[in-house]
Amino acid sequence: MDAQALSLNNSIEKQNPNVLKMLSERGKNIFFPKLGILSQAAQAKGKNINATIGEAVEDDGTSMHLPEFDALINLPCNSIFPYAPSFGKPELRDTWKSVIYKKNPSLKDIVISKPIATNGLTHGISILGYLFADESDTIVLSDLYWENYNLIFENAYNAKVETFELFEKGGFNTSAFSKKLSSIKQEKVLILLNFPNNPSGYTPLKSEIDGIVSEIEKLAKAGKKVVVFIDDAYFGLVYEDNVYTESIFVKLANLSENVLAVKLDGPTKEDYVWGFRVGFITFGIKNGTPELYEALENKTGGAIRGNISNISQLSQSLLQTVYTHPNYENSKLQKFQILKSRYNILKQSFSNTKYAEYFEPLPFNSGYFMCVKLNKGLDAEQVRLQLLNQYSTGVIVLGSVIRLAFSAVPQAKIPTLMENLYNACKDLDKS
Ligand SMILES: Cc1ncc(COP(=O)(O)O)c(C=O)c1O
């Protein structure tokens, strides 16, 4: 093992030996290289002649670039063309950290790591697979989940995904969650929680959240080493008052020295910048010290450097500029209101009792999506094809449920979407 990795591992072990046990073999081996090219380039910064960096520089010291870009982007040259650090642009990392506290006031003064920038949340999840998932590990997910988790945890890292039933009697199925957790035999338990959930559009209610946390606490008390990946991709898009609006990260980041909470979030869905490819990884654990977080950040930065080197400078600069714009909050609220009104119309439309003959909503209160389950033995894939071919309407089938992305449908078309779904089901009803 490289001496730099060893030194990070020693630091982690000294601060909290449980965390070292949570890392995968890859995670134990990785480090962000402080020696070599990066440190030599850092030492040469500001010198009269700097022949270290792998970028091209104009005679006046600015980034070499093609002038055609100048009319397209209204940002300083050094916010566009140079590489960004593997950890992300420092000012954006600071902004995002303060935003996490602002959006999650119950965090109060709990100490968390500095967010590390990733190439969107997908890349963040993959980096967590790299750092924490070995072949023998199991990742616990709800049975309604974003299918890309399989590609990441199973195909890339050969870990195993196991699911629990998300719903019981119209709400979060705490007993199924508990049962699944207690069936994991390994000392290390990896859990992934995604609220608002893709595909169901469900976020636990205020009345449910402590029950979920207490199941995780039970594991910790039994001596398990628990890593909870918290996929907050749709954070903030909550449309009902009885829903828990902060991230469950708040409840887990200071729960136990046996529970490492890892928050995955970013502007992709919250700020409507899907193509920018920026996300963040943030760690929180009870009694987490700056030294522990620094070691984890270094391992994360090293994994990123070894995978994609660093994230788009331009995307990060655009975000930082918009986050400090005086109209940002207001513009964001306006977009939220559009999604909320689509949600409201969709929700109201279920008061039309005729729909229940063919389909019923699964619980939903947040996010971009909702799901319906079909009645009368209707086949979801056949309904999807009927919608496509006869009603010019596209939906997603996931097993036996149909997912409707109300985020992508204008409010005026939502009643037609519902009617089309009803009619497609009626066409196929053989009873
Ligand atoms: C639950 C969930 N997590 C993560 C992502 C991916 O986010 P990103 O585009 O930032 O990689 C998605 C995208 O659909 C998602 O639904």
- Name residues contacting ligand 1 (CB within 6 A): 120-122, 146, 194, 198, 231, 233, 266, 268, 274, 279
pLDDT tens-place values along the chain, 431 residues long: 999 999 999 999 999 999 999 999 999 999 999 878 887 888 888 888 888 889 999 999 899 999 999 999 999 999 999 999 999 999 999 999 999 999 999 999 999 999 999 999 999 999 999 999 999 899 999 999 999 999 999 999 999 999 999 999 999 999 999 999 999 999 999 999 999 999 999 999 999 999 999 999 999 999 999 999 999 999 999 999 999 999 999 999 999 999 999 999 999 999 999 999 999 999 999 999 999 999 999 999 999 999 999 999 999 999 999 999 999 999 999 999 999 999 999 999 999 999 999 999 999 999 999 999 999 999 999 999 999 999 999 999 999 899 999 999 999 999 999 999 999 999 999 87
Q: Which residue has the tokens 């729960």?
A: 255
Query: Is the C-alpha dihedral spanning 323, 234, 148, 114 positive or negative?
Result: positive
CATH top-level class of 3-32+86-323: alpha beta
Fold assignment, 329-428: Aspartate Aminotransferase, domain 1 (3.90.1150)
Domains 3-32+86-323 and 329-428 share a fold: no
Calculate how far, in angstroms, residue 233's C-alpha sits from the geometric centre of ligand 1. 6
Please state the domain extents for the chain. Answer: 3-32+86-323, 329-428
Pocket test for ligand 1, best of 119, 141, 147, 148 (most atoms within 8 A of CB): 148
Q: Ligand 1, closest atom to CA 266?
A: 10
Q: Ligand 1, closest atom to CA 145?
A: 1
Q: Ligand 1, closest atom to CA 120?
A: 10
Pocket test for ligand 1, best of 96, 118, 122, 319 (most atoms within 8 A of CB): 122
Q: Ligand 1, closest atom to CA 278?
A: 10
Cα–Cα nearest to 274, from 121, 126, 83, 93: 121
E-strand spans in 18-177?
Answer: 116-118, 138-142, 160-164, 167-168, 171-172
Query: Is the C-alpha dihedral spanning 22, 25, 29, 30 positive or negative?
Result: negative
